[in-house]
Structure 1
Amino acid sequence: MGMNKQSHHIDPSQLWEIHGKYYDLTPFIARHPGGKRMLLLSKGMDCTEVFESTHIFDNLPKKMLPKFFVADNPNYKPTYSWEPDGFYNTLRKRVQVYLTEQSNLLDGKKKYSFDTHHGSGWFLVRLVLLFIFSWAATWFGIIEGNLYICAIWPLIAMSFGGYGHEALHAGLFNSVWKNRAVAFFSMDLLGLSSYVYSVVHITGHHAHTNVEEVDPDMVAFYPNIRTFPSQKRYFPHRFQQYYAWPIYFCSLFFANIMDIITFITKKWINIRVERPYFLEFVLFFFFKTAAISILIVLPFFLHDTSKALTIVLLTTGVTGFLINLTFAVNHKNNEAIDYLTNDKRGNDLTKYDWGEFQILTTCNFQHGHWFTDMIFAGLTHQVEHHLFPMISYQHLPKISLIVQETCKDFDIKYNLYPTYFAACKAHFKYLKDLGREPSLENVESVASSS
């Protein structure tokens, strides 16, 4: 690739890289429809996967990019395949057609309305109800000490948190501040910093699902829990399918600590996290203090020690367990790691279409009802969410039909467990298998020999 005159003096850490080209998006930050936060967090990174997956209708963004072009990266090597007639681009065109048709049905317009893929109607009514229920459950459960309310608190918190997760991806509203508000009052007050999670989850996990040392979810619990075949196995891993339970149970407590460490060190295990601008820091401090005070400290001021401990374990403990287990069943099972040993391409990611790789490394479970979709925060359709993270999970059941049909056309296996319990069983079997199998010191050679 050629380089322009400016390329000899550029600093890649101050630019955005997309498909091997450096862009200076600084003049566009304030005008970015998705808000400035995501652009600031992704500066200095290869944003190809995030750019492609967050722009469902990509014509306008791709037309605008040349205005901000700085230089080609002469050493660029694509991580995945992005062929125009490949799986993902074909699927995206089909989803574009579907969304355009839905837009025409809703408002009679002849072209796509940006609001169509966001939440609407009964879906947003549920958001309001869950907001009310969550605060009512917090009052009567944590403050008044009703243990029966505390027992159902995790289901309400996870359902409400699902809306925060969706808002984080800008899938809930066509408004930056509305999405941020929902994220703050659902995720941050639950003990998960939406700022830290944005970097770790979107630029790490979503872009490179189940890729060791790149996907933070695959290293989050290691060496305590071995979740990837190439990780070194230690003797305690033989029992990890049992002791994973208490570790998942404590995950929200760990999350609070990790968020604070991340703000201080500007690093989340293997992910670089830029220190936020002042307002973001103030919001982080306020909501982190509020979350720890309400969920962990306050019960010990209002109740005796044993009851306070019970309340904290029933609420924060069980919620952390459910969140981690549900995310785990989506990606940490033999189906989602199968590509390493049973695909001749092994871990040579350049031979995979990015969308195909998302299909191979993600599993759905229990399709069929809006209530289970809500309880499990939309993670029942995790495959579709990974392919199109900005589409509200309200629309994913119908999008999944398009995905499954396209998978058939490209001869790609679509992973779906019939029930949540079947998915959980598969996850713990995976932990058991990894606890007893030897390490794969060279995954690529193992895959190529199979």
Structure 2
Amino acid sequence: MERVKFRSDNKTEKEFSREVRKRVRVYFKDNNISIHGNYNMYLKTFVMLGLYLAPFILLLTIPITPWAALAMVVLMGIGEAGIGMSIMHDGAHGAYSSKPWVNKMAASTMFLLGSNTFNWKIQHNIQHHTFTNMFDFDPDISTKAVVRLSDHSTLKKYHRFQHLYSFFLYGFATLMRLFGDIGVLLKHNRKGITKDQKSSPVLEFVKLAATKLIYLGVIFGLPMWLTEFSFWQIFLGFAIMQMTAGIIMTTVFQMAHVVEGTYQPLPDENNIFHTEWLVHQLRATSDFGRKNGLLSWYIGGLDYQVEHHMFTNICHIHYSAIAPIIEGTAKEFGFTYNLKPNVFSALASHYRRLRELGREKNNTNFERLSIQQK
């Protein structure tokens, strides 16, 4: 796998990285708190799984009208997104628990969504989190069909209208992952990435195919067997569920990376990026709001994206506590801490960024960063 090396001779960046790690570590030590989850995570797991599974069970076991069924599949979509953001995400990062097997179980909830944990860990944990907002290295902002998310990708005429159609297309994200996982895994196998992760290409393919078949068999087979709904009604319900989950999850992720004030730099010709890794994460991510309450609980603390990217091994239930530490340290060392006041301002910022990216090539973020590095 092609990699970027982070190297910096900037003393301020090095000192900041050491100090912010130290202060966060001291917070947990002084308060005798584990960096992992606690009973709150187990309660959330129960609620999110219930939000996803309970409506499905009701659909299968009691007579229900089409309108009531519509409400059930929307709830399932909300639950699906909640599982992905609040349970699977922490488990895949090893932050859910101090016990590896518990993290594996939490990460495996992705199978309930028809997706593949192996692909996720490569694309998200390794590629996105290491090379955040770097075009051609971070798959989350690299070429995305008709949506342009990077200053460095090719500008097409239709991108001029992407701020109008992108949010609808976000709804297809989970469907694309569901049916695109096989192609992604084959690509990893072909490039030798699967072997680099010390896994068997054949075994991973068999696991992926088996879980897809089981998921589709359950999500389509049980309703066809146990209910009076026709296939087209079941398919429509499935599509609505996936669209609901896709719009929620993709919009949340975009509000943390593709907004005003987040950088999209490139490494030099030798794939060397002359910035400390923690400083890069600080510049490439953005928080939105500090008092989101129930929303923050539901989205797994992803409104604290700076904290998540700088300390991926810390469970999201601690983000609100360490955010002031990170923000204060950043300002002390003269670095900008990206924070949108609330969800609506972050959503508006993403909308404006989409419009900007769709109208002209804009390398301002890279140019500003290059000037700072000099």
Q: Distance in 2 between matches of 1:97 and 1:441?
A: 37
Q: Contact 1:171/1:390 (CA < 8 Å) preserved in 2? A: yes
Q: In 2 relative to 1, CA 291–349 (structure 1 residues): closer, same or farther, beyond 3 Å?
A: same
Name 1:62's counterpart in structure 2: none
Q: Distance in 1 between matches of 2:304 and 2:255?
A: 12
Aligned identity (percent) is: 23
Name 1:225's counterpart in structure 2: 147
- The answer to whether residue 106 in structure 2 is matched with residue 192 in structure 1 is no
Deviation at 1:434, TM superposition (A): 0.9
Name 1:240's counterpart in structure 2: 162
Deviations 1:320-361 (A, max 9, x none): 121111111110122213778xxxx9xx96432211111111
Q: Distance in 2 between matches of 1:296 and 1:421?
A: 36
Name 1:95's counterpart in structure 2: 24
Q: Distance in 2 between matches of 1:242 and 1:170?
A: 37
Structure 2 portions without partners, runs of 5+: none
Q: Contact 1:362/1:383 (CA < 8 Å) preserved in 2? A: yes
**2:346 corresponds to which of 401, 423, 434:** 423
TM-score (structure 1 length as normaliser): 0.71
Q: Distance in 2 between matches of 1:393 and 1:149?
A: 28
- The answer to whether residue 128 in structure 2 is matched with residue 205 in structure 1 is yes
Q: In 2 relative to 1, CA 177–220 (structure 1 residues): closer, same or farther, beyond 3 Å?
A: farther
Q: Contact 1:196/1:273 (CA < 8 Å) preserved in 2? A: no
Paired residue secondary structure (1:317): helix
Q: Distance in 2 between matches of 1:129 and 1:353?
A: 39
Number of residue pairs the alignment of both structures matches: 358
**1:158 corresponds to which of 81, 99, 103:** 81
Deviations 1:233-256 (A, max 9, x none): 111111111221332111111112
Structure 1 portions without partners, runs of 5+: 1-43, 47-76, 107-115
TM-score (structure 2 length as normaliser): 0.84
Matches within 5 A, 1:255-404: 255-266=177-188, 272-274=193-195, 276-277=199-200, 280-295=204-219, 299=223, 302=227, 303-337=229-263, 350-404=273-327
Name 1:127's counterpart in structure 2: 45
Q: Distance in 1 between matches of 2:331 and 2:371?
A: 25
Q: Contact 1:364/1:417 (CA < 8 Å) preserved in 2? A: yes
Q: In 2 relative to 1, CA 296–403 (structure 1 residues): closer, same or farther, beyond 3 Å?
A: farther
Q: Which entry has the higher C-alpha Rg, 1 or 2?
A: 1
One-letter code of the match for 2:179? I
Deviations 1:190-247 (A, max 9, x none): 13211101011111110111011111111151x4211111212111111111221332
Name 1:173's counterpart in structure 2: 97
Q: Contact 1:330/1:362 (CA < 8 Å) preserved in 2? A: yes
Deviation at 1:167, TM superposition (A): 0.3
Q: Contact 2:289/2:342 (CA < 8 Å) preserved in 1? A: yes
Q: Contact 1:299/1:312 (CA < 8 Å) preserved in 2? A: no
Q: Distance in 1 between matches of 2:2 and 2:99?
A: 25
Paired residue secondary structure (1:128): helix
One-letter code of the match for 2:263? I
Deviation at 1:415, TM superposition (A): 1.3
Q: Contact 1:231/1:439 (CA < 8 Å) preserved in 2? A: no
Q: Distance in 2 between matches of 1:164 and 1:382?
A: 16
Q: State the superposition RMSD in angstroms.
A: 3.3
